[in-house]
Structure 1
């Protein structure tokens, strides 16, 4: 008699989305500078700033909905917004530290961390209000 693995929990699937996106962010941000493509030069806002804000907004959005789906932890659900914003910002800070210390030709910059934080705030607030609107 063979035993099969239990089906994957839906909660696990919700955690996989922000985890996969976080891995994608690490791949992008820790790629050596010589391997990076040339980015367009924008007049009003730099491409790099917009890219940082966008990827962290998506991370915050996915993380918020993941936390809200964790039915076993109602206290965690009620604290989703501050957890997401703080966690995303700390993740951005970790990336800047890694970029500075890994000798990849990349440099940790306060402006990147600021862009990450703004993206996390925007993504978190969008997710919060979208969740309320969808109810």
Structure 2
């Protein structure tokens, strides 16, 4: 299995897990106590994996897609009647974490591309 295929599978599993945890009331959805840490993990890891898994996807689309993803999560949490509530400050932090992920991804992505090409040359 290629690194790209592995990262694509990992990405979709991570998105499913993030949705499950974001929309699950009770202790499972709050396995990590701090909401800001939960948002930081999700919105730094997901865009970063997306950059690695889909290297031809334009960065602006990654930002737009994850901004929408975070906004939709907040809207759904606001509509839930089971222990979840929307906090638009969380969405603002999501946007900051998305941008941080993009910056880190721009630094790290060339290393992955180089390693991937080196692995194929062997």
Rg (Cα) greater in structure: 1
Could you tell me which runs of 5 or more consecutive residues in structure 1 were left unpaired when the two chains were aligned.
1-7, 40-46, 69-76
Contact 1:22–1:59 under 8 Å retained in 2 = yes
Name the structure 2 match of 1:119: 97
Query: 2 CA distance for matches of 1:11 and 1:25?
Result: 21
- Structure with the higher fraction of residues in helix conformation: 2
Q: Deviations over 1:31-55 (max 9, x none)?
A: 114654582xxxxxxx322321222
Quote how far apart the aligned CAs of 1:21 are. Answer: 0.8
Verify: 1:18 aligned to 2:5, yes or no: no
Query: 1 CA distance for matches of 2:72 and 2:62?
Result: 15
Contact 1:11–1:66 under 8 Å retained in 2 = yes
Q: Alignment length, in residue pairs?
A: 112
Q: Which secondary structure does the structure 2 equivalent of 1:105 belong to?
A: coil
Q: TM-score, normalised by structure 1?
A: 0.70
Structure 2 residue aligned with 1:28, among 12, 21, 31? 21
RMSD: 2.4
Contact 2:39–2:93 under 8 Å retained in 1 = yes
Could you tell me which runs of 5 or more consecutive residues in structure 2 were left unpaired when the two chains were aligned.
115-122
Verify: 1:96 aligned to 2:83, yes or no: no
Query: 2 CA distance for matches of 1:38 and 1:61?
Result: 20
Q: TM-score, normalised by structure 2?
A: 0.77
Verify: 1:63 aligned to 2:50, yes or no: yes
